Amino acid sequence: MDDKIISGEICAELNLLTQQYFSDSLIDHVNIITKYRNGTLSYVCNNEQWLRLYMSKKYPLVGFFENNTLPETLSYLLWDSLDPSDPILVDSKNAINLMHGVTFVKHSDDASTYFNLGQKNSQRSILFEYIKNQQRILKFIDYFMGSGINIQKYTERNRLYCCHSDIEIIKNGDFTNQSLRGKSHYLVSEYNIQLPASAKRFYKRIVEMLSVRQLDVLYLVLSGFTMKMIADTMNISIETVKTHIKQIRAGLNYHCTSAMVEDCFSHMVSYQLQHSKSFAAKFKH
């Protein structure tokens, strides 16, 4: 399933929920930005056009909600109090004629989530209606956070990843080969690791080119495991291990394992795998 279909699904699900809760059209535009404590960001919206605009412009580099930490005592924020030149607000007006809005803030142990809500073609008087209907909006937010809407199936490939001040948008256009579905979490670090750009590019290519199983094998090879140890750890035969290593070499275009391992070490591949969410607890030895 490609990005367009996935993004269409999450937009449709969120839009349906919005219509159910706000059949009077008090709210018809919802976008949700989650800032995780580990530095990653995720973004979902009920407007597919706006979602594509957001992703194409990489707003987190300049946007208020991504670049600022709001006090945990703050429950809501009217957009009229924000800088009117903020690019998200400017494009809200230009793209969908969203003039006024409100942000409700929800904090948890691992993240802060901003629910940006508005009504297209709205007038300034709408701000009073937002506050008057605060309890209804909060019920919508609580239901969304506990609902069965599976945003992971969308953000698996369209989450914004921060890596020591660099932001990479993981989507189809950024990768030329295999899908990252099921592998994007290898790119997320729970730690503030400092790496040169060349190491990041090398690692990114490896995650793109190899399957999940091959990444597991590569990690164990770089950790000094023998073929028998890898076979025992992964509960596979030694012949299967040999096949995996051969396929890894072919996928990365290496004629011998030693050259591949040497390049992986020089680009700190093992270190990056160790610090990814996927490998944080997968292999303990």
Q: What are the residue boundaries of the structural domains of the chain, listed by start?
A: 3-154, 195-274
At which residue do the structure tokens 């750009």 appear? 197
CATH top class, domain 3-154: alpha beta
- Please calculate the CA angle 74-49-168 and round it to the nearest 5 degrees: 70
Question: Which H/E stretch holds residue 15?
Answer: helix 3-21
pLDDT per residue over 49-80, tens digit each? 787 777 676 665 567 877 777 787 888 889 88
What is the structure's pLDDT at 171?
A: 42
CA atoms within 13 A on the CB side of 276: 24
pLDDT per residue over 252-282, tens digit each? 999 999 999 999 999 988 888 877 755 655 5
What is the structure's pLDDT at 185?
A: 60
What is the structure's pLDDT at 179?
A: 47
pLDDT per residue over 207-239, tens digit each? 878 888 898 899 899 988 999 999 998 999 999
What is the structure's pLDDT at 208?
A: 79
Average pLDDT over residues 90-102: 88
Contact, 9 vs 153, CB < 8 A? yes
CA 78 to chain CA centroid, nearest Å = 26
- Asked whether the predicted pLDDT for residue 245 surpasses 60, the reply is yes
What is the structure's pLDDT at 260?
A: 95
Most confident by average pLDDT, 27-31, 192-196, 203-207, 279-283: 27-31
| Angle, helix 3-21 to helix 48-57, in steps of 10 degrees | 130
% of the chain exceeding 90 in pLDDT: 21
Question: Which H/E stretch holds residue 45?
Answer: strand 41-45
Q: Provide the whole-model pTM.
A: 0.56
195-274 classified as CATH 1.10.287.1080? no
Average pLDDT over residues 185-206: 69
- Asked whether the predicted pLDDT for residue 186 surpasses 70, the reply is no
- Tokens of residue 29, six digits: 């535009």
What is the structure's pLDDT at 243?
A: 95
Q: What's the whole-number average pLDDT of the chain?
A: 77
Task: Tell me the helix, strand and coil percentages in the chain, rounded to 5.
Answer: 50, 15, 35
232: CB partners within 8 A, 6+ apart? none
What is the structure's pLDDT at 173?
A: 38
